[in-house]
Structure 1
Amino acid sequence: MNYELIVRSSSQQVDFALLKDGKLIELHKEAEDNKYSVGDVFISKVRKTVPGLNAAFVNVGYEKDAFLHYHDLGPKILSTLDFVKRVSTGKLRDYSLKEFPLQKEIDKNGGINDAIKNNQSILVQIVKEPISTKGPRISSELSLAGRYIVLVPFSDRVSISQKIESNEEKERLKRLIQSIRPKGFGVIIRTVAEGKKVAELDRDLQNLIDRWTAMCKKLHRAHLPSKVLSEMNRG
């Protein structure tokens, strides 16, 4: 007698199916009530910059605006803004970043008005879910988490979990990732990547690239604000 549990997730719900000897015996559907989960990415609009806080309030569709501090913009914010503008207007259809010209990094001690403006379209990621008195905390330094790696657009840096102790294994993983990493994307190698073969890492990487591409396709003519990538639906 063999039991098998199948889980299927989408941005709207999660389905659980229990099979016994290949036959369905139970099916459960759970709605995804939290529309602002950590990791979700939104195309949003800057509502108001507040120089006194060196931050901005951003409309992500929640009843309270999300808070975006200057230090959460990320050094590549100018590249992100340029990319969003080009994709949203249809001027850029190549989402691979291999030919995308990166802008200069912003000054880490700069001011919010030097980087973003009121009513500007901006791509943000939820880093802290909203609570009753506050909107979500967000960042413009995007990352897409896979099983073995984390993909970081507009970067060329490869870093590795410090929990992997073997220097030999660290060098092996870095060498493998450098051989398959597409230009314009940085990679963080997770602890669970230890001992994995290049085929497994590449499969994880390609899945993340597919998620990035699917997200970018939604940016063209997207209504603001709207969710363009759900952490619940990793594919």
Structure 2
Amino acid sequence: MKQMFMHGDGELLQTAVLDNGKLVEFSMERSENSSLVGNVYKGKVINVLPGMQAAFVDIGLSKNAFLYVDELLHPHLEKQPERKPAIADLVKPGQEILVQIMKEPIGGKGARVTTHFALPGRFLVFMPTADYVGVSKKISTEQERTRLRLLGEQLRQNEEGLILRTATEGASASELEADVLQLREQWSRILAGRLRHPRRLKFIAKPI
């Protein structure tokens, strides 16, 4: 027997599907009037514009999203090539690509998207491929900033990047680790691509 449970909390709608008492599906959706910034989509490159160093990506919205070449390069500036490559060498029409909205659609223009993914948690922002640790400049003392930076380096794996937010001041190592583990798991679910194009993946970001 299948059961569906729905819970509305302001703009957020949570839906759970149970099959014989076991959770088989869970999703969170915001109302159409809420911000799209931070949402992750599996899209398809429609066309590439070499003269503009940009591409248009269908992510299932009314207007195709705009992807600039800089948003395809490594998120860490120090790891970007000295000479910017042609966008036609990076993406091709028909190619499927995972993107995150960084700027809302305005008027006749589609959303601006990036491949520099950032998943915000309670204490930190998880960046799957950024390969660096940053600490909020609002942290009060250099000693605390150094402590947090060292913790961030210990927690991140491989090419992961972390930004320690202002809320991390005074936070314990276990609290930060819990945040990282949760966001890492969230990223794994996104990569699994449970929802196919053009539907939005089950991730809604919060402001950094």
Give TM-score, length-normalised by structure 1.
Answer: 0.69
Which of 181, 186, 196 in structure 2 is aligned with 1:223? 196
Q: Which runs of 5+ in 1 are unaligned?
A: 1-6, 16-29, 77-103
**Cα distance, 1:200 vs structure 2:** 1.1
| Secondary structure, counterpart of 2:193 in structure 1 | helix
Give TM-score, length-normalised by structure 2.
Answer: 0.77
Which of 144, 157, 164 in structure 2 is aligned with 1:169? 144
Separation (CA, whole Å) in 2 of partners of 1:208 and 1:112: 30
Once the two structures are superposed, residues 167-187 of structure 1 have per-residue CA deviations (whole angstroms, 9 ceiling, x without a partner) of 111110011122222223111
Match of 1:153, as an amino acid?
Answer: P
Q: Which runs of 5+ in 2 are unaligned?
A: 1-6, 16-28
Match of 1:96 in 2: none
Q: Does residue 129 of structure 1 match 2:128? A: no
Separation (CA, whole Å) in 1 of partners of 2:205 and 2:118: 15
Match of 2:41 in 1: 42
Match of 2:89, as an amino acid?
Answer: D
Cα 1:209/1:31, change in 2 over 3 Å: closer
Match of 2:87, as an amino acid?
Answer: I
Which of 176, 180, 184 in structure 2 is aligned with 1:201? 176
Moved over 2 A (4+): 7-12, 104-110, 222-226
Cα 1:161/1:147, change in 2 over 3 Å: same
Separation (CA, whole Å) in 1 of partners of 2:122 and 2:8: 16
Separation (CA, whole Å) in 1 of partners of 2:160 and 2:11: 25
Q: CA RMSD in A?
A: 2.9
Match of 1:20 in 2: none
Answer yes or no: is the 8 Å Cα contact 1:11–1:230 preserved in 2: no
Q: Does residue 192 of structure 1 match 2:180? A: no
Separation (CA, whole Å) in 1 of partners of 2:10 and 2:158: 29
Q: Within 5 Å, which residues of 2 pair with 1:44-193? A: 44-75=43-74, 105-106=80-81, 109-193=84-168
